[in-house]
Chains A and B, each alone.
Chain A
Amino acid sequence: MMDKSDELVIAGKAYGSRLLVGTGKYKDFAETKTAIEASGAQIVTVAIRRTNIGQNPDEPNLLEAISPSKYTILPNTAGCYSAQDAVRTLRLARELLDGHALVKLEVLGDPRSLYPNVVETLEASRTLVKEGFQVMVYTSDDPIIAKQLEDIGCVAIMPLASLIGSGMGILNPWNLQIIIENAKVPVLVDAGVGTASDAAIAMELGCDGVLMNTAIAAAKDPVRMATAMRKAVEAGRDAYLAGRMPKKLYSATPSSPVSGVIAPVQDKAA
Chain B
Amino acid sequence: MEVITLQVNGRSVSVPAPITAAQLIQQLELSGKRVALERNGEIVPKSLFTQQGLEDGDRVEIVVAVGGG
Where the two chains meet, the residues of A that have a C-beta atom closer than 8 Å to any C-beta of B are 22-26, 32, 45-51, 53-54, 57, 61-63, 73, 75-76, 78, 88-89, 91-93, 95-97, 164, 191, 211-214, 217
User: B61 near A92 (CB under 8 angstroms)?
Assistant: yes
What are 11 A-B contacts defined by CB distance under 8 Å? A48-B66, A50-B9, A51-B9, A51-B30, A53-B11, A61-B34, A63-B34, A78-B69, A88-B38, A95-B43, A96-B35
One of B11, B41, B65 near A63 (C-beta < 8 A) = B65
B8 at the interface (CB under 8 A from A): yes
B17 at the interface (CB under 8 A from A): no
How far is it, in angstroms, between the C-alpha of A22 and the C-alpha of B68 when the chains are bound? 6
User: B67 near A92 (CB under 8 angstroms)?
Assistant: no
- With CB as the reference atom, state the residue of chain A lying closest to B64: A51
User: A53 near B9 (CB under 8 angstroms)?
Assistant: yes
How far is it, in angstroms, between the C-alpha of A228 and the C-alpha of B25 when the chains are bound? 43
How far is it, in angstroms, between the C-alpha of A217 and the C-alpha of B68 when the chains are bound? 11
User: B61 near A22 (CB under 8 angstroms)?
Assistant: no
B45 at the interface (CB under 8 A from A): yes
Where the two chains meet, the residues of B that have a C-beta atom closer than 8 Å to any C-beta of A are 8-11, 13, 28-30, 33-38, 41, 43, 45-46, 61-69
One of A23, A47, A95, A213 near B36 (C-beta < 8 A) = A95
User: A47 near B8 (CB under 8 angstroms)?
Assistant: no
* Chain B contacts for A53, CB-based, 8 A: 8-9, 11, 13, 28, 62
User: A48 near B65 (CB under 8 angstroms)?
Assistant: yes
Shortest distance in angstroms between A25's beta carbon and chain B's nearest beta carbon?
7
How far is it, in angstroms, between the C-alpha of A88 and the C-alpha of B46 when the chains are bound? 16
Shortest distance in angstroms between A252's beta carbon and chain B's nearest beta carbon?
47
User: A48 near B63 (CB under 8 angstroms)?
Assistant: yes
User: B65 near A47 (CB under 8 angstroms)?
Assistant: yes
* Chain B contacts for A49, CB-based, 8 A: 63-64, 66
Shortest distance in angstroms between B40's beta carbon and chain A's nearest beta carbon?
11
* Chain A contacts for B35, CB-based, 8 A: 51, 96
User: B36 near A46 (CB under 8 angstroms)?
Assistant: no
What are the 7 closest A-B residue pairs judged by CB atoms, nearest first?
A47-B68, A213-B69, A22-B69, A57-B29, A96-B36, A95-B36, A23-B67
* Chain B contacts for A92, CB-based, 8 A: 36-38, 43, 61, 63
* Chain A contacts for B37, CB-based, 8 A: 92, 95
Shortest distance in angstroms between A95's beta carbon and chain B's nearest beta carbon?
4
Known: A57-B30, A93-B36. A50 touches B67 (CB 8 A): no
Known: A49-B63, A51-B63, A61-B33. A95 touches B69 (CB 8 A): no
How far is it, in angstroms, between the C-alpha of A76 and the C-alpha of B65 when the chains are bound? 10
- Residue among B43, B66, B69 with the most chain A CB within 10 A? B69
